[in-house]
Copies of this chain bind each other. A is one copy, B any other.
């Protein structure tokens, strides 16, 4: 560790920043999970998977779905199967590969997701309403920088 790095770590600034980021992320995620459960009797991995399918109306292959999921830990097949049984997603043949298929939202799935997404955004707006627009904009800008430098530094 060189001198500059050592002096940077003396006050644990970077570590404290990371732990605070993690705390904020977990506070909001916990609220979202609880409200998804309470209001829609659904889980964050289900919501997350449906939100990916929403963005890809033509559907996604299973491996693409895994890759796109924001929240890890969800087993894609274990989420897709019940959603299919409930008529919220469907499988469609993949013309280029007879053994493959895509998953996409059904009409009922799109309707259900639209309602959840609207509520979800309302919760986020409400949770962050104590920040002024200016604070939100500043935080967004700084997190854009953080995203950029982290991606550059990552392996």
Q: Give the contacts of A115-155 with B (CB-CB under 8 A).
A: 120-122, 124-131, 133, 135-140, 142-155
A58 CB–B CB distance under 8 Å: no
Is A142 a contact of B145 with CB atoms below 8 Å? no
How many of chain A's residues touch chain B, expressed as a range?
35 or more
Is A128 a contact of B17 with CB atoms below 8 Å? yes
On chain B, the residues within 8 Å of A151 by CB distance are: 27
On chain B, the residues within 8 Å of A100 by CB distance are: none
Docked complex Cα distance between A85 and B94 (Å): 49
Q: Chain A's interface: helix, strand, loop or mixed, by majority?
A: helix
Docked complex Cα distance between A137 and B146 (Å): 12
Is A24 a contact of B146 with CB atoms below 8 Å? yes
Is A20 a contact of B144 with CB atoms below 8 Å? yes
User: Which residue numbers of A lie inside 8 Å of B, CB to CB?
Assistant: 1, 5, 8-9, 12-31, 34-35, 70, 72-73, 120-122, 124-131, 133, 135-140, 142-155
Can you pick out 16 interface pairs between chain A and chain B where the beta carbons lie within 8 Å of each other? Answer: A8-B129, A8-B133, A9-B122, A13-B137, A14-B125, A15-B120, A15-B121, A20-B143, A22-B29, A23-B143, A24-B150, A26-B70, A27-B147, A31-B150, A129-B149, A130-B150
